Structure 1
């Protein structure tokens, strides 16, 4: 029988495999590559990696496609609204960072994108209400499972549905295991770095502010 322990083991194995690939993108230190300012929380890649085309459904019902992230630094977090601990904690920490970069111009201000990997329960309306409870500026989106898997894979992330003890009797008895790292997307829509927990809002805000100023037109 599939249980949570097996799910966690599989998730760790998948993450480890992707971690080996991700290691090829890094070049030592927090700020890899001379084109970036020194960072504290963000591990920058030596060379930003273009993302394949994607399309997600935003909380307002519109589509979020690749090009719409251009012009801003974007922090991407995968989660789900029924998450008991990691998701609300992370979104609360990111909301603290958002307050600290609020003074930056709207046209270049960093964004936070929350992507639900639980489309079975998380409607666009629900994810919008959830994310905006932490910050009204947070973008919230989801998609069907194949599209979410492709998007997560492009970021080097994984997620998995983990049935609970009573899943056979109650199909709603399940959780979602998912990567806890944050992806950092540059103004050209390329994956440029990653933030690993534990998260430090002040350091994240400082890094994204510096990156925004360094790449402002």
Structure 2
């Protein structure tokens, strides 16, 4: 199957997923402004990756705190650094508001070939502390992206250089290591924060 057909199929599936989210979202229209809530949270799959400090990462890594996951890569020129910067602002504002819940930002690289732990360490630390950046074997990475409906694909130019097309949404993972909500771009800071606090407050 060629790249164009793959893209069309993935786009169609993505639209179906968003439509399902929107159907459920209609029940929350008056309550939430910027987030799509999953009616049934999706448990993270079994996978084995490493973080920017070369520590093992599995679904257990995501238990016990809230995580905002973004799938991107360090050579991304605009969307990735802008999104991670925004997420760090959200994290800092929540922290300053004396909100009791623990929140972490997790960057999962869709370019593990270039995004080594050293590269990721230099990158993620620029955006604040106590965050995590993840890389590793592409097959293990695919286990995670497929389970969460995340698309990514290498795209080469005429000079054999490449970039990576990827989903730009931010996923919220609850303390039980479940994908529970999706924030689509563009991210309006105050709406994002208000919705995030409501979700975390309502969590059992």
| TM-score, normalised relative to structure 2 | 0.87
After TM superposition, what 4+ stretches of structure 1 lie above 6 angstroms from structure 2?
104-107
| Aligned positions, number | 203
- Match of 1:19? 15
Distance 1:201 1:106, change over 3 A: closer
Deviation, structure 1 residue 130: 0.7
Q: RMSD of the alignment, in Å?
A: 2.6
- Are the counterparts in 1 of residues 24 and 37 from structure 2 also a CA contact under 8 Å? no
| TM-score, normalised relative to structure 1 | 0.82
Residues 144-196 of structure 1 deviation map (CA, whole Å, 9 limit, x = unaligned): 111111211111111001112200xxxxx110000011111111111111111
Residues 83-105 of structure 1 deviation map (CA, whole Å, 9 limit, x = unaligned): 01111111111111111111477
- Match of 2:149? 156
Query: Which structure features the higher share of helix residues?
Result: 2
- Match of 1:145? 138
- Match of 2:24? 28
- Are the counterparts in 2 of residues 69 and 189 from structure 1 also a CA contact under 8 Å? yes
- Are the counterparts in 2 of residues 78 and 179 from structure 1 also a CA contact under 8 Å? yes
Structure 2: any 5+ residue segments left out of the alignment? none
Distance 1:131 1:122, change over 3 A: same
- Match of 2:196? 208
- Match of 1:72? 65
Structure 1: any 5+ residue segments left out of the alignment? 1-5, 168-172
Q: Secondary structure at the match of 2:127?
A: coil
- Match of 1:176? 164
